Amino acid sequence: MVEIMHMQHKMASETKLIKGLVLDHGGRHPEMPKSLENCYILTCNVSLEYEKTEVNSSFMYSNPEQREKLLASERKYVDDQCRRIIELKRKVCDGTNKNFVVINQKGIDPLSLDILAKDGIIGLRRAKRRNMERLVLACGGNALNAFDDLCEKDLGFAEKVYEQTLGEDKFTFVEGVTNPFSCTILIKGPNEYTIAAIKDAIRDGLRAVKNTLDDNCVLPGAGAFEIGCSNALFDYSKDEVNGKQVLGIEAFANALLVIPKCIAQNAGQDAQQAIINCTRKIRETKVPYGIDISNGEFIDGFNAGILVCFFIYFLNFFHFFFNFFYNFY
């Protein structure tokens, strides 16, 4: 579960992987701490705000004292919930260097925020549901729907929780988590166009990684597959095929070289010379070599860590294959 967040801030080179979570909101109380270390994380879906009843009702009082008593009874339930949080915080944090953070999917009203702030607790409200799922994966603990049996085993842990403000936007970073089964890719860029381009590239890369893990198979990159396949088709047309079919196979073999030619041209190299170098080396060693964009020579994609997803190549190859021969004939 990878969360992709973006900030219009600094340069595209500042894009990085956060081994934790970045939430797109911050604290709503001015006296709440902006940064805490060694934090217990309470993940919950409990309303900490006064809610009106779902049925029509009326309350009658005859003097101001009765009105104050009525208001106090309405707040009692919410205040009791806040007291349970504070009691647990004092139980696990007093006498240690630990701190406490509450991340709630539902609302936290100003009075409850004030109670939490006075005890040095960061309280975040209206967290997204997907972030709640990721918090449990990353920080540990349990997502709670009630505080009746609140105990220490329900808490997650993070080494650092801090808030960063950019203009009117606030972001909360949860880093140093115990189980980074969920993480955040934080995209930064000077404008929306750069951010959108980086986001598309990252999504393509994540999808390629997922397909590779599902297929449990990779191919050498840098155009090695296309060059090797083209050589194999040329050999097949010379040894196994006669007549006009040779023309079709050779045309298809030449068409496959479009991709490695584009790789070489985009790198400012001589495309024809680069393909000749790779073809000669492949025929000598029977190893699939691709194009080294730094010098136009050959490179072993596996040893260099240049890999491509088999699934994508499989689909593109057969799509190209059928379209080519359909138009050719």
Which pLDDT tens digit goes with each residue over 11-27? 888 888 888 888 888 88
Asked whether residue 81 falls in the same domain as residue 163, the answer is yes
Q: How far is CA 80 from the centre of its chain?
A: 37
Domain count, the chain: 2
Range of the domain at 311: 218-328
Higher pLDDT: 273 or 74? It is 273
In a domain, 39, yes or no: yes
The whole model's pTM is what?
0.68
Band (315; pLDDT cuts 50, 70, 90):
low
Q: Residue 194 class from Cβ within 10 Å (0-12 exposed, 13-18 middle, 19+ buried)?
A: middle
For residue 65, is it within any domain? yes
pLDDT at 40 over 90: yes
Q: Which residues contact 276 (CB under 8 A, 6 or more apart)?
A: none
Residue 160 pairs in a beta bridge with 37, 175
pLDDT tens column, 210-262:
888 887 878 888 888 888 888 888 888 888 878 888 888 888 888 888 888 88
Q: Does 81 share its domain with 228?
A: no
In a domain, 199, yes or no: no
Kindly state whether residues 140 and 238 are assigned to the same domain. no
pLDDT digits (tens, 9 = 90+) for 104-136: 999 898 888 998 999 999 999 988 888 888 888
Tokens of 263: 């790789």
Inform me whether the pLDDT recorded for 45 exceeds 70: yes
d(CA 303, CA 287): 11
- Is 37 among the domain residues? yes
